[in-house]
Amino acid sequence: MATIYTEKDANRQALSGGSIAVIGYGSQGRAHARNLRDSGFDVIVGARSGGKAELTARRDGFRTTSPADAAAQAQLIALLTPDMAHKSVYEEDIAPNIQPGAALLVAHGFSVIYGQISPRADIDVILVAPKGPGDLVRREYEIGRGVPALFAVHKDATGKARDRALAYASGIGGTTAGAIETTFPEETETDLFGEQAVLCGGASELINAGFETLVEAGYQPEVAYFECLHELKLIVDLLYEGGLEKMLHFISETAKYGDFVSGPRVINDETRARMKEVLTDIQNGSFAKAWIAENEAGKPEYQRMWDEDRARPIEKTGAELRRHMAWLQKSADAKTAAAETKAA
């Protein structure tokens, strides 16, 4: 069993006496910066002049400067831009300016593991990855709970890398919820596999296949949508709250029996073999090589596949049905109002 590290294991003094630069002020970057500031750390936001990130960070009350200047001033640089931007940001802004003995932190190890960046030998290279989106990281911090996090050390140039990672995890609320030590390859490979085989790729294909199977058999698309997509949230909520045991406890006996006899017919040895192929492509770098090449080519296949997904019949059916779900509209209105209030 993995050790769960909590607040008593974190020494925030490991990051005292210097600034933390957050470069990349999106969902995660904004949450990290705000949580770190509220935890007592001095935070600088590195952002391009006149860009959305700079405007949002200033509105949030942060001192902003260029990414290069932020890197030069900080004892720890949190590189929280999208993975494919890491290479240019590191080479142009961070590498020429980061001070010896400083730390480079990422929230996902892709760029380090697959050679997009090659950090200098005189800096610490660490990872802190909250297991939740930025909005949740911020909300849970504000109510004093936090989101669990993973942390890892890739390079310990100073002898303080692990302490720095735990201090950062503490600053964003990760040790309040519990942090688990991992490695850069384990975090990166499991994260990519989970996204591709289960959470995003696997789930979306399973949903669409179920929808199409029912529609092709003559059932109404609206009924198929409810059964294969809409009700999935109810099951996922139960799984999230109490694992398989809670889900099985709250569904009907008929549903349980169907789970037992039909689940293995859908997810079978052939499916597991395909999952192993996905994992192998991640482990040997094939996926990373293909994604890096696609990005460098301007992402034409990425855009084509995205357009195809959005054109699926289930999307048209779902958009129409969701117009009649008042609770979804209220949620969207509340988020819009909150955003407008913050912007005012």
Write down the residue that tokens 């129409």 correspond to: 320
Query: Following DSSP, what letter does each residue of 115-182 receive, concatenated?
Result: TS----TTSEEEEEEESS-HHHHHHHHHTT----EEEEEEE-SSS-HHHHHHHHHHHTTHHHH-EEE-
Distances (CA, A) of 251 to 31, 129, 227: 36, 33, 14
Strand partners, 180: 4, 150
Amino acid code (one letter) for 260: F
> Annotated catalytic residue: which of 108, 154, 230, 324?
108
- Residues in binding site for Mg(2+): 191, 195, 227, 231
Distances (CA, A) of 31 to 24, 258, 288, 303, 319: 11, 42, 27, 29, 30
Q: Is 108 a catalytic residue?
A: yes
Query: Following DSSP, what letter does each residue of 31-71 receive, concatenated?
Result: HHHHHHHHTT-EEEEE--TTSHHHHHHHHTT-EEE-HHHHH
- Residues in binding site for substrate: 252
Rg (CA), the chain: 22
- Residues in binding site for NADP(+): 25-28, 48, 134
The 10 Å Cβ neighbour count of residue 257 is 10
Amino acid code (one letter) for 15: L
Q: How far apart are CA 163 and CA 186, in angstroms?
A: 20
Specify the 3-state DSSP secondary structure of 323. Answer: coil
Cβ neighbours of residue 82 under 8 Å, at least 6 residues apart?
Answer: 24, 26
Q: How far apart are CA 73 and CA 64, in angstroms?
A: 12
Active-site amino acid positions: 108
